[in-house]
Amino acid sequence: MRARIPIPPAVIGLAMFLAIWEVLSLWVHRPILPSPVTVVPIFAAGIFGDLGQHFLASAGRVLAAMVLSVVTAVPIGLGLGQMQRIDRIFAPLIAIVYPIPKIVFLPVIYVLMGITDLSKIFLISLIIFFQILVVVRDEAANLPPELILSVRSLGAGRRALFRFVYLPASVPVVLTALRLSAGTAVAVLFIAEQSLTTYGLGYYIVVETYQVLRYPEMYAGILAMGLLGLLIYFAIQGLEARFTRYQKRNDA
Amino acid sequence: MSTQPSPPKIDVRHLTFAYPGATAVFADFSWQAAPGEAWAIIGPSGCGKSTLLYILAGLARPVSGTVAIDGTPLDRPRPKTGLVLQDHGLLPWATVTQNARLGLTVWRFYGVDDRHAPPDALMDDAAIDARVNEWLTRLGIADLRHQYPGHLSRGQRQRTALARTLVMQPDLLMLDEPFSALDAPTREDLQQLMDDLLAETALTRVIVTHDIDEALHMGRRILVLGGGRPQVVDNPCARSCGTPAPEDFLRQRRHLRDLLGERV
């Protein structure tokens, strides 16, 4: 059982993080590792200006990728989970493609789709797509037959089963898959944004600050990207807690 | 005796059924049940009791033969047939109330199309709420309305599943092992409720069980399934017909045991 992290541990965690950072920066004592005392004000000023725009660009891409992968992977996963004959045809392909780190397709996607935001969003959604596809398929395939038969006996056809059984059954696993792939999604975003764009935290961190030795600003960018990952993670965790209330106290 | 011959409630003719790759569960099986009768179907596990319920509910299709309810051939689940399975089949993510409402929610989802929902289906929220509450109260689970099935006892889950079916006002009620694994007071209570329903409404009831005593309690007619030909035993000493004389009950019990014994 996963409890929502209450405020105090998060505050303690943040304080420890900043303390270790400060100690390290004192110890290294070089421009490459500025103190949080320098970085945090830059971050605070930038997040409502230039840095904030990069943040929004990155956040927009990740969220678009999440939406794109959910709306495509959930129906396909539910379909495969219910139609075993078709699933058997595609299962080997999915088993092969699923573990491939999708970042290797970056050049292919750029060449085929062009250098637009869409190609970056597509690359990220490719990662999340397979994570969701697999868990939704398995969830749909493993629903108890008595459940399906009972609801069918109430008059439910394919559409009602989808709406009242398969869809709600897949919400918790979709959220878990999203949360677990959030880290990878942000990581791939970071790489994808390093080229062929002028907005996004990846661009800001690597091109605008790192390559021109603006280290304090670079760290502000890293903070922003870390914050993006954290916010996504905790937002999904909050949703999960809401949608899995019925699972609590089950073992009691 | 009625002068107007009405079609049997359940009319099974020359039914053959087999799961893919397995030997036939039913071969040329015929059986009729009249409206208002209380049936028990008994047999050893694996004899096809539950399969017969699935077929009668329109959830499984026979390989050959016909099944008609009220004279209408069955080709899909029928809105006025209520089915409660052994594992209840409650939605784990829905509360007791939401589960009890599910059938009416499904009907409303389709609208009155006379295919998924009957023409007299309840469609307005207040009326649905009232009927659901009425049944939750009558089944003694009104206090649990916001609980999830995972937090309920087996008996409470069974009551929820019954509520879900009864709010749809079925004229044919089929229950798969409804009282097994229930504590004695709960069992008594639910059996009494089933008998009250039979007396109050024009309900035909089919209960599947592996328990001889339960078949004798609940079935005024008993269908015995197993290896040989299916047999029908008339059982005037079911509880809905009053308290039977002990010797009658014991004689019937021996008779059923003999029938079942041949089939093991």
Q: What are the pLDDT digits (tens) for B212-263?
A: 988 998 999 999 997 678 889 898 877 766 666 777 888 888 888 888 875 4
| A156 chain-B contacts, CB cut-off 8 A | 106, 116
Cα gap B147→B136, rounded to integer Å: 13
Quote the minimal CA–CA distance from A87 to chain B in Å.
19
CB contact under 8 A, A245 and B148: yes
CB contact under 8 A, B106 and A164: yes
For A145-153, what is the mean pLDDT?
94
**Could you give the domains of chain B?**
1-78+172-195+203-264 (3.40.50.300), 81-169 (3.40.50.300)
Enumerate chain A positions whose Cβ falls within 8 A of a Cβ in B: 144, 146-157, 159-160, 163-165, 168-169, 171, 243, 245-247, 249-250
Tokens of A121: 């969003």
For chain B, first and last CA: distance in Å? Answer: 38
Q: Give percent of chain A with pLDDT exceeding 70.
A: 96
Which amino acid, A221?
Answer: G
Number of residues that make up chain A: 252
Ranges of each domain in chain A: 38-247
Tell me which residue in B103, B149, B150 faces A155 most closely, judged by beta carbons.
Answer: B103
Instruction: Please answer whether residues B41 and B205 qualify as being in contact, where contact means their C-beta atoms are separated by less than 8 angstroms.
Output: no
CB contact under 8 A, A154 and B161: no
Q: What is the ipTM of this complex?
A: 0.89
Q: B89 touching A, CB under 8 A?
A: yes
Q: Which fold has domain A38-247?
A: MetI-like fold (1.10.3720)
| A160 chain-B contacts, CB cut-off 8 A | 106, 109-110, 116
Find residue A186's DSSP bridge partners.
none
Q: What is the pLDDT of residue A5?
A: 57
Quote the minimal CA–CA distance from A231 to chain B in Å.
26
Contact residues for A132 (Cβ-Cβ < 8 A; gap 6+): A69, A70, A73, A74, A77, A174, A177, A178
| B79 chain-A contacts, CB cut-off 8 A | 155
Tokens of A160: 């009602």
CB contact under 8 A, A249 and B57: no
Q: B139 touching A, CB under 8 A?
A: no
- Residue pLDDT tens, chain B, 264 long: 445 677 899 999 999 998 887 778 888 999 999 999 999 999 888 888 889 999 999 999 999 999 999 999 998 999 899 999 999 999 999 999 999 999 999 988 888 666 777 777 767 888 899 999 999 999 999 999 999 999 999 999 999 999 999 999 999 999 999 988 888 999 999 999 999 988 898 899 999 998 898 899 899 999 999 767 888 989 887 776 666 677 788 888 888 888 887 544
**Cα A23 from chain centroid?**
31
